[in-house]
Amino acid sequence: MEKIKLIADTASDIPDEDLRELGIDMPSVPVTVDGKGYWERKSFSILEFYDVLKNARELPSTSRVPVEDYLACYKRAWEQGCTHIISVTINAGGSGTHTSAQMAKKQLFHDHPEAVDQIEIHVVDSRTYSAAYGYYVAEAARMARKGKTAAEILDYLRDTFEHLEVYLACYSLEYARKSGRIGAAAAFVGDVLGLRPIILMAGGQTKTVEKVRGNKTLPEKIYEAYEKNCTNKNAPVIMVRGSLDEPVDELKRIFRQKTGKDLPAYYAGASILINTGPEMLAIVCRGQRRVKDPECDMA
């Protein structure tokens, strides 16, 4: 019988209660704040980082999870008798963490060649950020608890990440400018005119799909993006939120009014907030098949 371990880096923003309940291992993303090094979810919680970001003199930065941290997770799972590891990472196009996860797999089998016939390690590139993949890792762990095979779980994750769409709005362009995601001139003009971009994140790529004037209508516009582009209204839909309560409540109200369903909300963590700022809001849904096959190491 298969014994499956799910692993996701802290950029997945999986809530603590899900980690405890489902036994998901979570190697930590290094975060540098004003020249000092920290570890996401170890040095501070998701919510504590909002104050860290607000009080930082310079824009914090993240770096990839060290290879040795993944290696420790893999080795522990192997020693515990796991037959399969499914390690899901933040978008490989935006972080070297995926490479660390792959290198750790090679290192484990180099150091312990006997493990080759005892455990399979699958490294999956989510091609997205935050709870947009963390939610589905938790769902995959629940599938494992119910006796689903590693092959079934991998099929589920591949199919999900091939179709996943995120529609994100920033209520301020300050952090996008500081991080280099938006040029200084464009950010200045956007703020002066009160323009707020709605950004589509899909298949590891990002693009602006609409520019909205003012903050008030952003929740409605985000819902409209979902309504127009979601290809399966029965598939799970979640919200990724920042520090603002009013737009979160408004998007929940709109979603409940239009669909009759509640919209679960997950707080965004350091890896995405550094680029968007704490005043952000996003909806995650199933859309078009934009990625032929998210990278997955099947060895």
Per-domain residue ranges of the chain = 4-163, 164-286
103-140 in b/e burial notation, b at 16+ Cβ within 10 A?
bbbebbbeeeeebeeebbbbbbbbbbbbbbbbbbbbbb
Q: Which CATH number fits domain 164-286: 3.40.50.1370, 2.60.40.10, 3.30.1180.10, 2.60.120.10?
A: 3.30.1180.10
Task: Name the helix (H) or strand (E) containing 19.
Answer: helix 16-22
Give the pLDDT score at 172: 79
Domain spanning 4-163 has what CATH number? 3.40.50.10170
SS3 160: helix
Taking the whole predicted model, whether its pTM rises above 0.75 is answered as: yes
> With 0-12 CB in 10 A as exposed, 13-18 as middle and 19+ as buried, what is 24?
buried
Distance CA 278, CA 28 (A): 20
The average pLDDT across 131-152 equals 98
The per-residue pLDDT for range 36-78, each reduced to its tens digit, is 999 999 999 999 999 999 999 999 999 999 999 999 999 999 9
Better-predicted residue by pLDDT, 292 or 118? 118
Coil/strand/helix, residue 181: coil
Tokens 């008798």 belong to 81
Residue 293 pLDDT greater than 70, yes or no: no
Residues in CB range of 143: below 8 A, 6 or more apart: 152, 153, 156
Average pLDDT of the chain, as a whole number: 91
pLDDT band at 163 (very low <50, low <70, confident <90, very high): very high
